[in-house]
Structure 1
Amino acid sequence: MTETYYAGVYWPGRPEPLETYARRAEALFQRLASTDPSLAAWYEQARSRESALNSRFSPDALSLQQLLTKAKYQIGDGEISFAAWNGSPDDSSVVNFSCGSPVPDAVDLCVWTPAARGLLSAQRASQVLKAMVLAWDPKWGVVISDEHRDSVTESGDVGTFIGWMTYFSRERGPVPPLPGSVRVEPVEDQGTLVILTPERFTLTRPEHVALAEEVRDQLQRAGLLQPLGAP
C-alpha cells in the first residue's frame, strides 16, 4: 500500500483583515524555511509547471498582502483562498489556506501536501505542523495519510479523529495520560501535540493501527474528539 500524507490545521470561520492573513502567512513561510531548505522558495500555484516557475513571490507580509488582493484569491465577503508550490522537482510541496468565511459553522484551514515521502520524518512533519499552529492559531490539527483518515471516518469531519500526529488547542481541553510510547508535547502556550509513533505511522503495521485505536478511545472518553464548533 502506498499511503499519501498531508498536514492540516483547522479552526471555525474567523474573518480577519487582509493584512492579518498576510502576517499569518508570512509567519508560516518563515517557519517552514527554517524547517527544510526545500521549503524556502515559493511560487503561486498555476496550471502548468512553467507558469508556476514564472510566478515566484517573496513570502513577506507586504508582498503577500498584495498577492491576496488578486481577484482569483478572493472568494467573496472577505474570504480568501491561496495556494503556493515550492518549485522543487525532488521534494515538491504545496501549501494552501482558505480563511475568513463568514458562514456560520464554516471551517477555515491551512494544509501542507508533500509529494515526496522524504519530507515525512517525524521531526520534519512535527515541525511543519507546529509552524502552521503557531501561524494560524487553529483549534485542531493533524498529520495523517488519506488512507488512514478514510479507514477511521466516513464523514471526515475535522476534529473527530486522530492521525499519526494530532494537535489539540488548549481550549479543547487537557490531554489525558496516554500509553508510554506516545509522545505528548506542548506547542508553546497554545495547545498540545500528540505523536503516536517516532517512525512514520502506516496502516500496514498492525501495531500502529492497534495503538491508534487505543489512543482514540482514550481521547474520545476525554471529550477531545468533537467536531469544530461543538460545545
Structure 2
Amino acid sequence: MIETYYAGAYWGVRKESPEECGQRAEVMFNALRTVDPDFAHWLKLRRTRKEALQHPLETDRASLTKTLRRRKDRMFEDLGFRLDGWNGADGHEASSFLMTVGCYSEYVSNACAFTLPSAGSDNKEGPNAQRVLTATVLSGLVRAMAVAWDPDWAIATSHTHRELLPTPHPERLWGWVTYYPDRVGRVPPLPAPVRMERVEDKGTLFVLTPERFTASNPEHVALAHRVGELLGRAGLLGPPRH
C-alpha cells in the first residue's frame, strides 16, 4: 500500500484584510525557503504545465496582497480569499498548496494545506519524496505555518493515519508532526521517542518518531494512540479554552 502524506494548519473565524493575509503568507514563504528546496519556488496553477511555468507566484507581501485581493469570493464576502500554487515538479514528485484565509464565516474554516510528494504507481519514491517526508523537513513546514498563521492546530501526517483517528473526529487531530498553540492548552509530557519543542512564544510542536511515521507500523500506531490519550486528558482535543 502506498501511504501518502499531507500537512495543514487550521483555524476558526478570523476576519483579515488582503494586506494582513499577504503579510502572513510572506512570512510563511520566506521561512519555507530555508526548510527545503521543494518549497523555495511556486507557480500559479494554470490549465497546462507549459502555461504554469510561465507564471511564477511572486511571494513578496505586495504581490501576495494583490493576488489575494483578486481571489476574493465575489458572492460571499465572509468566505475570505483563496490562493493556490504548485512547485513545478512532475507527477508524484510535486508539492502544491491551497489556502483559504481571512474567512469569517461560521460554516467555513480557514486553512493552509500542502499536498506532499509521494511514491509513484510502482511504489518507488523519487528524491523529492525521500527528502521531504522526513521529521526534519515536515517539522520545518509545520513550524513555518504555525508562526505565520497562528492556527488553532497544525499537522503533518499520513492520510491513512488520519482515517484511523476516532470518529467523530475531535476538534483537533494529531499525527507524526503536530502543533498546538498555548491558548488551546499546554501539551503534557509525552513518552519517548516523542520530541517536543517550543515555537517562539506561541505554542508547542511535537514529533512522534524521528523515522518516518507509518500507519502500517503497529508500534507507531500504538504510540500515536497513547499520545492521543494523554492529549485528551489534558483537554487539548476539545474546543479552545477561553
TM-score, normalised by the number of residues in structure 1: 0.92
Letter in 1 for 2:153: W
Q: Is the 8 A contact 1:12 1:105 kept in 2?
A: no
Deviations 1:42-90 (A, max 9, x none): 11122322222121122101111111222xx222315111101111237
Shift of 1:199: 0.8
% identity of equivalent residues? 40
1:184 aligns with 2:185: no
Q: Gaps spanning 5+ residues in structure 1: where?
A: none
Q: Is the 8 A contact 1:33 1:40 kept in 2?
A: yes
Name the counterpart of 1:171. 183
More strand by share: 1
Name the counterpart of 1:74. 72
Name the counterpart of 2:86. 85
1:129 aligns with 2:149: no
Secondary structure in 2 matching 1:213 = helix
Q: Gaps spanning 5+ residues in structure 2: where?
A: 119-128
Deviations 1:159-178 (A, max 9, x none): 1x311111110101111111
Root-mean-square deviation (Å): 1.8
Q: Distance in 2 between matches of 1:65 and 1:212?
A: 39
Name the counterpart of 1:141. 154
Secondary structure in 2 matching 1:150 = helix
Q: Is the 8 A contact 2:46 2:52 kept in 1?
A: yes
Name the counterpart of 1:94. 96
Shift of 1:146: 0.9
Letter in 1 for 2:114: W
Q: How many matched pairs? A: 227
Q: Distance in 2 between matches of 1:140 and 1:83?
A: 20
Shift of 1:156: 4.8
Q: Distance in 2 between matches of 1:49 and 1:157?
A: 39
Shift of 1:95: 1.7
1:36-47 equivalences in 2 (<5 Å): 36-47=36-47
Give the counterpart of 2:221 among 206, 209, 218.
Answer: 209
Q: Distance in 2 between matches of 1:214 and 1:105?
A: 32
Shift of 1:122: 0.6
